[in-house]
Structure 1
């Protein structure tokens, strides 16, 4: 294994560990703020007039996006296949969706989709997951091959925290603070989508004003706080996250959370 391969392996192992630790926190956050349900429903609005019946949910986490897909498309009785690398996340997802028909959960690596799926899909969703995949380009390449003609790739990408001028809020408020939003720069993601044969990409900026409580609940999730304080044990991160959120609310008002919504249609 070369140096780059070793880095990706370590990063993937760290992501799996962080998300195993994050299942409870993600569910508590979602109960209060409904962010991932909102993103999923917004992604569905953007693929209209498409009404997919066979869907792949990549990086489904605790099943919030999977449930939102099923509820929004209930009239079409969709078949939804949902994949995640975290066993603990999948246990939550299965519990969340246990009474619903047509939902199938698979524990697996999102960067090797063709290992788990031979069938084709009308739509493949990456809801708040693509920026955590070091091998995102291979995942998207395989996803594009799994799409039927006319099918869509739907992606929500966390682009950061901003002030009302659209400037990155973290370095604006804390010049010495580094915040790793994810493994994938947006320019590389867009370039990758544009390079996929037969795909046409639409990109929309989606920003929501967020409160100090929202920020703390989000940034204190283990998988998120590790981007701020990667070398500090989780319990020691919490007071640091609280202090950062208090100071950020003082120095940047209002604060907006930014998402890039990308839709790639297969000709």
Structure 2
């Protein structure tokens, strides 16, 4: 387990990263990549959408282009303060402080679940994905963006020491273990040589 897969350390990390997150993030996960991922999810105007690990609201901003009923959840109060400044105080988004592995929502609460840049900090990803399946309506879709596993063995060791990196095979295993079906994986990259994102779209089974 990487050092940032510990929730307390991750919160401390984001206490400081939140100050510069919006300046750093575009070098790894930019608007073009986000918009490509949103097209895969096919959000409808009347969908009730949950953004898990919303951070400073980068993904939230994209979701608001599709739906007027967006909810954001994060465990870092410092990250959420940034997001609330952008959207919450204008009543565009309702925010919750919470844990991806114990979502504070009833079963079948959302039409769509989005999560970008969060899974790499979850100590138990399958537990969180099972929570996604619980709170998304049967037959509906979720999308999760995480860091693709590096090809270099040196970078693999560094990555494993920091947080969760995974490839398509591991993504498939996690989503199947959580009970999802119709699982698709897409590799996204800002430019050649930059870090790659693995974007997974999956559907909760019908009841």
Normalising by structure 2, we get a TM-score of 0.83
> What is residue 159 of structure 1 aligned with on the other side?
148
State which of 132, 142, 158 in structure 2 corresponds to 1:178: 158
Runs (4 or more) in structure 1 with deviation over 4 Å come to 7-10
Please identify the structure whose Cα radius of gyration is greater. 1
Could you say which residue in structure 2 is the equivalent of 1:11? Answer: 6
| Cα distance per residue 1:14-37 (max 9 Å; x no partner) | 11110111101212224x648353
The correspondence for 1:259, drawn from 197, 200, 204, is 197
- Find the residue that maps to 2:20 and give its secondary structure: helix
Structure 1 CA distance for aligned equivalents of residues 34 and 84 of structure 2: 18
Q: CA deviation at 1:100?
A: 4.3
Q: Cα offset for 1:96?
A: 1.2
Give yes or no for the alignment of 1:150 onto 2:139: yes
Contact 2:53/2:116 (CA < 8 Å) preserved in 1?
Answer: yes
Alignment partners' CA distance in 2, 1:179 and 1:198? 27
CA pair 156-139 structure 1, distance change in 2 beyond 3 A: same
Q: Does 1:193 align with 2:183?
A: no
Superposed CA deviations along residues 176-211 of structure 1, whole A, max 9, x for unmatched, are x733462353344320202333522011122232xx
Aligned counterparts, 1:93-242, within 5 A: 93-98=83-88, 100-113=90-103, 116-118=104-106, 120-159=109-148, 167-168=151-152, 171=154, 178-180=158-160, 182-183=163-164, 185-186=166-167, 187-197=169-179, 199-209=181-191
Rounded to whole Å, the distance in 2 between the matches of 1:179 and 1:25 is 21
Query: How far 1:103 moved relative to its partner?
Result: 1.0
Task: Quote the offset at 1:101 in angstroms.
Answer: 3.7
SS of the equivalent of 2:187 reads: strand
Structure (1/2) with the larger helix percentage: 1
Q: State the TM-score, normalizing by the size of structure 1.
A: 0.66
- Give aligned pairs, total: 201
Q: Could you tell me which runs of 5 or more consecutive residues in structure 2 were left unpaired when the two chains were aligned.
A: none
Aligned residues: CA RMSD: 2.9
Q: 1:51 aligns with which of 13, 24, 44?
A: 44
